[in-house]
């Protein structure tokens, strides 16, 4: 138990050090607003009455939302990095069919299956790599494969996971 108590401050210190090393998200709000307490409705509501749903304000950008240009960049990259391998997976079946039909060669069934599964797996990985390899800065486009952006954005993601885990640990163990 004593080891856990000693470990918690070092984790918090390392999380603070990592927070200084990792830059914040470009579209993250500068300050967080305090949540206002919910107030009871001023007019009484009848038990059987239907209340209209709250509609989000049209045209008002949310301070914590992803900017449109960054969103388009993420979707485009995800479509590319998952679409190309998925297309290759489907073409594997077509190419093997034509190879067998034209008696060019007889590929083993297991090889066709494994190659297509490999391409489908790359397609699934591309869904995650696409948004993480896009530049999250509105002014900077990034490069073709986005390895530098991936390292930066994955570092931000890991930092937010650790911060959330630290916050959860602090709420679970308030005395530590």
Low-confidence ranges of the chain (pLDDT < 70): 1-64, 175-176
> Rounded to a whole number, what is the distance in angstroms from the first to the last CA of the chain?
10
Identify the pLDDT of residue 85: 97
pLDDT in tens, 121-167: 999 999 999 999 998 888 888 888 889 999 999 999 999 999 888 88
Spatial CB neighbours of 37, under 8 Å, sequence gap ≥ 6: none
Position 111 scores a pLDDT of 95
Structure confidence at residue 9 (pLDDT): 47
Per-residue pLDDT at 138: 84
CA 81/CA 84 separation, integer angstroms: 6
């Amino acid at each position: 138990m004593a080891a856990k108590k000693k470990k918690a401050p070092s984790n918090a210190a390392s999380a603070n050090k990592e927070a200084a090393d990792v830059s914040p998200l470009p579209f993250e709000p500068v300050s967080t607003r305090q949540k206002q307490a919910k107030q009871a409705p001023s007019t009484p509501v009848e038990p059987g009455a239907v209340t209209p749903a709250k509609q989000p304000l049209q045209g008002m950008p949310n301070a914590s939302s992803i900017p449109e240009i960054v969103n388009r960049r993420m979707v485009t990259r995800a479509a590319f990095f998952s679409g190309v391998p998925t297309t290759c997976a489907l073409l594997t079946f077509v190419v093997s069919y034509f190879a067998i039909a034209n008696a060019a060669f007889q590929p083993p069934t297991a090889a066709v299956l494994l190659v297509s599964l490999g391409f489908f797996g790359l397609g699934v990985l591309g869904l995650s790599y696409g948004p993480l390899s896009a530049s999250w800065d509105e002014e900077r486009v990034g490069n073709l494969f986005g390895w530098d952006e991936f390292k930066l954005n994955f570092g931000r993601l890991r930092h937010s996971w650790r911060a959330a885990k630290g916050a959860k640990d602090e709420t679970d163990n308030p005395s530590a």
